[in-house]
Structure 1
Amino acid sequence: MTVQPKRDSFVAAVYSLALSALILGPLFGSGYLLLRDAVSTPRSYLTDSALGLTDAAARAVPQDALIAALSTVVDGGLVVKALLFTALWLAGWGAARMVAVLLPSAGLGPQLVASTVMLWNPYVAERLLQGHWSLLAGYGALPWIVCAGIGVRRRIPGSWWALAAALAFAGLTPTGALLGLTTALVVVGSPGGQSPVLRRLSGVFALFLVVASPWLTATLLSDGAGAGSDPAGVAAFAARAEPGLGTLGSLAGLGGVWNSAAVPATRATLFAVVGTVLLLIVVLSGIPALWRRRRNPVIAALGLLALAAVLAPALGATPWGLDVGRWSVESFSGAGLLRDSQKWVALAAPFYALSAAAAVMWAQQRFPLPRPTWSIAAVVVTVLALPDLIWGVGGALKPVTYPQSWTTVSEQLRGESGDVAVLPAGMFRAFTYSGDAPVLDPAPRFLPLDVLQTGQLIVAGGAVGGEGTRAGQVEDLLLSGGGSAELAALGGGWVLVERDTPGQFDESSLRDLETVFADNDLALYRVPGDIAVHQASSISRAAVIIAHLAWVLMGIVALLSVGLHKNRIRLARRHQT
């Protein structure tokens, strides 16, 4: 009785593995991911900024600390590639498992269609191009959270452990943790089930607090606690209408990322309309079949969640919605986490995958053609809707090789003290070796000391201010040609000049500094004199590290417990036979 489901699950896992490899292919070469917000380096360090304990927002917590820990034993570039590949693989495989749980009569074909829709869509493509690889970890966990949540509702042994593991993986970023929490609450909190709803919801919140503890603790203890985000970021990062589509149409097609440069070529032309129509044909064809199953509270809840995930960002991009967004970030600390509104459309993806599978099931029953016909057709249509996702989103995802000078500078700074200021000014770079797209400065992740960053972002509509107050003071000082004594008073012990990139730069600011290293790519200068100490207290660091350990241990223990539980079931079945 269990041979067929096991075979289907294995095939779905292999299929998702192959599809993920087809998407990420170029990244398997030697080198490092360096594209817009994505930065990987050979080694990173457990600095205050990696722990989220500076005056900038803790947006890269806990991912930076995890990579810093893992890169002590494994090359950091391999860690990032492995996590990204795992995220996509889990997204596809999880969608197939979700269909098997919610639509038990679905065969292998509908499951593979769900995997394709979950993986091959504009959301995945645009987030890859924007460099949001860690956000895709949260995305990949969503269908597994659905499956585990259903198990919790049915009181299936081991389901709480499975939910804990999925939430832990989603928690690689704050946004991923919130995506996971929302999905878990919707599934677990739906009416019905074999245990009290309040007890189930309390359990979900308890797991979330452990998952979110690294960035919640860092936010409470950091120098920037209570600092708000720039209201200008609400409009700058609002969902965007793609060619031929309104904002609502773009979001309904799982597109609409704020950055018009971070889209596949086909989404920058009127083919975006064709691609959206093709994807929606596959998805919407399953709505009638799911409507007949509306008494299943989880299916109904996922449908409502998908509707909200599309409509809310669309409303957020209206003048009224932008006003509400600006008021929110001005009034509430941490509301800036919500400003990139298109990222929340990820919550619609599980229902899209489920509906696509239901469409194939309906077509198989209605039209007497060979059973695989409709599954193959749905897969082909989904791929044709976004043909340039293949092989690194049209080759845009490709590894880069850092000049040797980066390693030399990093080794020079080991064991030293003081923060590093960087010139030219700004957060983003345009190196000759990094391709055409701007890239986030790799210095904060490459160097063993804290690198001062303002957090200011230059976007099409102007500048969006960051939270890095002291970094802003240091940058202003360097651009005005200030002296070394003032720089030392602000905690700047070093100045790194990245020569292979354009930007604002005042040579006079280097006149009193000692040259430590220089070549065509980088120049490192030491600031003389007594350097003011600006670092988190040992108590704050210990508290945040403990929170990170709690998150990691929860994930590891949960995974081991799921494995042990499945092994016990396997042994019990053998004894019965």
Structure 2
Amino acid sequence: MSRPESSRMSTTAALPAVWSLVLAVAVLGPFLVAPGYLLFRDAVSTPRSFLTDSALGLSDAAARAVPQDALLGWVSTVVDGGVAVTALLVASLWAAGWGAARLVAVVLPASGTGARLVAATVAIWNPYVAERLLQGHWSLLAGYAALPWTICAAVAIRRRRRGGWVSLAVCLAAAGLTPTGALLAIVTSCAVLVAPGGRTRVVPRVGGALALGVAVSLPWLVATALAGGGTEADPAGVRAFAARAEPLLGTIGSVAGLGGIWNAEAVPTSRTTAWALMGTLLLLAVVACGVPALWRRRRNPVIVAVVVPAVLTVLVIALAATGPGLAVGEWAMVNVPGAGLLRDTQKWVAWAMPAYALAAAAGTTVLARRFAAPEPVWATAAIAAVLVALPDLVWGVGGQLQPARYPAGWEKVSQIVTADGGDVAVLPAGMFRVFDFSGPVPVLDPSPRMLRADVLQTGTLIVAEGSVAGEGRRAEDVETLLLSGADPSALAARGVGWVLVEHGTPGESGAAKSTLDALEPAYRDDDLSLYRVEGVTSTPSPHRALAIGAHVVWLLVLAGGAGCALGQRVGEHRRLVGAREQS
């Protein structure tokens, strides 16, 4: 092979990665052109995070944000936390598109570059990505992005290709940034590995995947076992977080179109109008073109392992929003420990993405073969259809996502609060805030990630149908004391050493002024007031060492696997260069 021809092939192979990066930048552009922090609904980034007991999952609340919070606590010691979150988010979207293209190359090797570009577009430019961004679930998108790479790694293991296990370790660890992401990737890998065929035996390969899955899940498994948070869940959450029908679609149509998030406000503007129907039809048309091609390959166990879970996921999520489905879910919340992790059913529609990407790519190839126009023409048409289906995903989902800047008082308060001076109680009551500096959309209180001490939070969520109780029993007790104007000694007896009042945000304060008047102010400005409760010291959880050890195992799997994979790539590149020089 001549060097110019080899160079052209390398450039063509790189196109899906470049195109995926272009799409990721188009979505997250506001955070790349202006400094600031992601502060939107459930998403909270801060200049610096700390390795508190809560960050390790050692509280009475469910360990939903581990090892995410611990990772940011470590990383933000050397890199600004806002930069870290933006980088992770860009990397997630980039990896989702690039991974979808790579999946097509592995499973449908006859497909061309155009088909792979279509797959990359479907993986990034869809309602699931938009709605999870608007809900603030940035770390969930890391698990979403890992799915196509996980399938590729599982295929390599089935074929006994070099580096398969290392790649799978990296994929599962990257997905394991959240418990949901870990489960998404573990189930996906097992579905591919349990399918018959391949050059390796089923039991060892599935057992190996499960062992890796347990290793990367240790942060939240250990935290749940030690602290017991989240083993019970409010049944009201099942109805509140069920998938939702979007305009003219019904629940099944919304979910099939990769949409239908429970929060009607966390959707792009185009999905609140009749365009939701048109956009869904455009996306599904691109996907449907490849369904016959995948059906003809139904003897391929990998395709079956990707497509069947996708179909079942859409059907089960839609059924879970019906009367019988809600009843089953409510029963599970009461009787099955840890079932609260499953209550937001629409987030599991991520399992459909790899199948959609494969079908879209297959359809592009089929159309190019059946009709006179070359593949690039059909690929361009398919990409245009997917982009037009969701026109307002661009630039921060139609400008809804913009970087925020904290007032100076937040940094000053974070310097005053010490890790050993007791826990922090916050006013007004509740977990969500509306700040002038972050815009009109409610956002999770940033103080738990901004301060060195544990911040007590009830976990209670206010939704359209009412409220969903959280797991923070001690926080509820302290909140009740504050709202009733209790003596500071009652707070001290419960380990509260600080009271932070956040001004200018709606919320109930009750008779808390009586308590605050009896406390010594430690800081005060127009945005924040910090009070010291004297005589309180805090004792770290006795389980910190075990929890940190679990996080270190996860980090070692991630970093060690990435290092091994990089070493293998470098070795392969050197061998290739050597072979070319000899030819």
Q: Shorter-chain-normalised TM-score: which range?
A: over 0.9
Aligned ranges 1:296-445 → 2 under 5 Å? 296-414=300-418, 416-445=420-449
Aligned ranges 1:198-217 → 2 under 5 Å? 198-217=203-222
Aligned ranges 1:212-291 → 2 under 5 Å? 212-222=217-227, 224-225=228-229, 227-291=231-295
Q: CA deviation at 1:167?
A: 0.8
Residue from 452, 456, 469 that aligns with 2:456: 452
Q: CA deviation at 1:60?
A: 0.4
SS at match of 1:261: coil
| Counterpart position of 2:518 | 512
| Counterpart position of 2:114 | 109
Distance change (3 Å), C-alpha of 1:226 and 1:87:
closer
For each residue in 1:43-72, what CA deviation from the matched residue of structure 2 results, as whole angstroms up to 9, or x when unmatched? Answer: 010000000001111000000000000000
Preserved contact between residue 233 and residue 339 of structure 1 (Cα < 8 Å): yes
| Counterpart position of 1:172 | 177
| Residue 124 (structure 2) pairs with residue 123 (structure 1) | no
Preserved contact between residue 9 and residue 96 of structure 1 (Cα < 8 Å): no
Q: Bigger CA drift: 2-11 or 259-268?
A: 2-11
Q: CA deviation at 1:563?
A: 1.6
Q: CA deviation at 1:189?
A: 1.3
- Please give the alpha-carbon distance, in whole angstroms, between the structure 2 residues aligned to 1:354 and 1:330: 39
| Counterpart position of 2:544 | 541
Segments of 4+ moved more than 2 angstroms: 1-9, 224-227, 530-535, 566-577
Q: CA deviation at 1:300?
A: 1.4
- Please give the alpha-carbon distance, in whole angstroms, between the structure 1 residues aligned to 2:414 and 2:355: 46
Q: CA deviation at 1:369?
A: 1.2
| Counterpart position of 2:563 | 560
SS at match of 2:261: coil
| Counterpart position of 2:527 | 521
Preserved contact between residue 413 and residue 448 of structure 1 (Cα < 8 Å): yes
- Please give the alpha-carbon distance, in whole angstroms, between the structure 1 residues aligned to 2:417 and 2:575: 57
- Please give the alpha-carbon distance, in whole angstroms, between the structure 2 residues aligned to 1:390 and 1:199: 44
| Counterpart position of 1:19 | 23
Q: CA deviation at 1:532?
A: 6.8
SS at match of 1:497: strand
Distance change (3 Å), C-alpha of 1:84 and 1:255:
same
For each residue in 1:152-189, what CA deviation from the matched residue of structure 2 results, as whole angstroms up to 9, or x when unmatched? Answer: 00000111001111111000000000000011011111
TM-score, structure 1 length as denominator? Answer: 0.98
- Please give the alpha-carbon distance, in whole angstroms, between the structure 2 residues aligned to 1:429 and 1:134: 21
Q: Point out where structure 1 has 5 or more consecutive residues left out of the alignment.
A: none
Q: CA deviation at 1:191?
A: 1.1
- Please give the alpha-carbon distance, in whole angstroms, between the structure 1 residues aligned to 2:540 and 2:105: 51
| Residue 90 (structure 2) pairs with residue 82 (structure 1) | no
For each residue in 1:485-509, what CA deviation from the matched residue of structure 2 results, as whole angstroms up to 9, or x when unmatched? Answer: 1111111111000002010013223
Q: Which residue identity is paired with 1:100?
A: A
Q: Which residue identity is paired with 1:545?
A: I
Distance change (3 Å), C-alpha of 1:143 and 1:5:
farther
Percent of aligned pairs with the same amino acid: 57
Q: Point out where structure 2 has 5 or more consecutive residues left out of the alignment.
A: none
For each residue in 1:78-130, what CA deviation from the matched residue of structure 2 results, as whole angstroms up to 9, or x when unmatched? Answer: 00000000000000000011001111111110000000000000000000000
Distance change (3 Å), C-alpha of 1:116 and 1:277:
same
Q: Which residue identity is paired with 2:188?
A: T
Preserved contact between residue 54 and residue 536 of structure 1 (Cα < 8 Å): no
SS at match of 2:239: helix
Q: CA deviation at 1:512?
A: 1.2
Q: CA deviation at 1:4?
A: 6.2
Q: CA deviation at 1:3?
A: 5.8
* Length, aligned pairs only: 573
SS at match of 1:380: helix
Q: Which residue identity is paired with 2:467?
A: A
Q: Which residue identity is paired with 2:575?
A: A
| Residue 195 (structure 2) pairs with residue 193 (structure 1) | no
Q: CA deviation at 1:5?
A: 5.7
SS at match of 2:181: helix
SS at match of 1:536: coil
| Counterpart position of 1:496 | 500
- Please give the alpha-carbon distance, in whole angstroms, between the structure 2 residues aligned to 1:521 and 1:563: 47
Q: CA deviation at 1:552?
A: 0.8
